[in-house]
A and B are shown apart, each in its own frame.
Chain A
Amino acid sequence: MGAKDLLCSILEHETKKNPARARKLITAVYAGFGAYQKRFPEKGRAGSRRYLANEAMKVMLNAYRHPESTAFVSIFTPCELLQAFDISPVCAEMFSTFLNGAGCEKPFVDAAEAAGVAETFCSYHKILIGAAKTHLLPDLGYIINTSLACDANNLTFREIAGELGREQFYIDVPYAKDEYAVAYVAEQFRHLASFLEKQTGRTLDMARLKAITGRSAETIRIMQATIPWRRTRWVSGDLTCELYEALMMHTCLGTEASLHYADMLLRDYQAAPADTGKRIVWMHSNPFWQKPVMDALNYRPDMHIAATDMSYDVWQTFDPSDPFTYMASRLVYDPFNGPAADRMNFSRKMAHAVDADGVILFCHWGCKETCGASTLIKKGIEADGIPCLILNGDGVDRHNASDGQVSTRIGAFMEMLSDRSEEAAP
């Protein structure tokens, strides 16, 4: 039995016997790994990405250590308002991803399915529900989610709020993208402010909120500045860092850490060697734990991820001076909202902006938003002469995917991209 299997087995046992002890155990494991990662950083990671990994671990540890001042949010929820109340957000996907990282997702998938959750439900959310049902999930102080980008949010957060006995705050994002939709969502953020004032007994400091949204807009501006560099420079990284970056660009946007990361990343790009490899645009979450995908894309100058739509979606310019409208606009005009054509066109632009050689569209198990749009997106991207691979898999449940199938697909795609270069060579 490997170390992760052993940990999984102990955690499962402890969760059944004494959930509080199980929470302490997983906290200790994360803390230990965090300390190790800080002392012995992943060699292939550039400086900015090492910083990113450490910051992500801090967010996770904080949720276990200080659940009362932590808000459980969906990944697309803008969190500047929470920061203004000194509430730390942790997103649902992150919680599940970390459990997978520790090799411990299986007991919680099982617990959710045993409770009646469909096997076909998104695995990120299944793990969360399993963790809530078995009380591994800490008693988080706030439950806040948006309807974006999927139905699973509507269900999981309602269920978890019920399990924890907390009031759920829900932000409904209309499908239609217009000024009425922005006004409607902005009004909901105003209600969120009142909700938080009531919950915390504090008054919103508008100047502070404006400073946070200003920092958020500045972070986006710097991330936009990295785009031209991505066409020609290679900054070494891995699939896990892409997920951390999605966290930094959504849940942590507006924090000092997020701004600092953007600064470091831009500097890393400016100092990076010329890119001589194949640039891949990755769409949706990724199976960071799966060996054939890691082997194909981690720390490789010849083949690497140049951009991911899970963080690129945020890099749009909106005026931060009215924080409520700013946050609402980000949600309404996010390419993950609205018709598949919006996401397709956004991905095409992204692929062109970073001069991508290929696009991998990851169809995560149970994600109808992405699976349902996959054929259309592939068609649109390929119409621009960029090859697109639809890769079916599971971002977070290793028991629901086949290494063999993934290896063949991703290997063949890489070979196809290499063949194209050879053909194009004079």
Chain B
Amino acid sequence: MNQKSFNANDIVGWVARRKFLFGGFLATVGAAYGVFASYALKFVFPAPKPPRRIRVFLGFSDQIRPGASKAVNLPTGDQLLISNTGKINPVTGNTFIAFSNSCPHLGCKVHWEARREEFVCPCHGGVFTAGGVAVAGPPAQSGSNLKPYEILVEGNSIYAVVEEV
């Protein structure tokens, strides 16, 4: 009997092997260029860097007396309102609080009312606590609070710590 003769199963196996190898070849080509494409995409889009935090000088502490407040323009374009509550905050160890003075409702400027110890928006009667939390008016209805700023008191100088633009 001829040992080299093929039967139908051999041919099916051979075709299947060719298909498998061809599929493997295409998959390898796809994987190689897929990896390259992913690297190229990462190259094109710069990695997001954590923004640098910088200090912005706000004023001298003895110039903002208890009950007074001062608006300061920030390099970010926002305006900050620093207020002296006259009461030492146990967390920060000083009497100053700082918030964006833009009302989260429609952007009117809020002011600090020392007697009520509240921020008040003149446009639609928005009221915020000394912690910036909305308690009355449209901001309270939508639950929008004043944006807080981190402050640093070194000696007589007060700074805001903000992210560089």
A and B interact: no
- List the interface of chain B (C-beta within 8 A of A): none
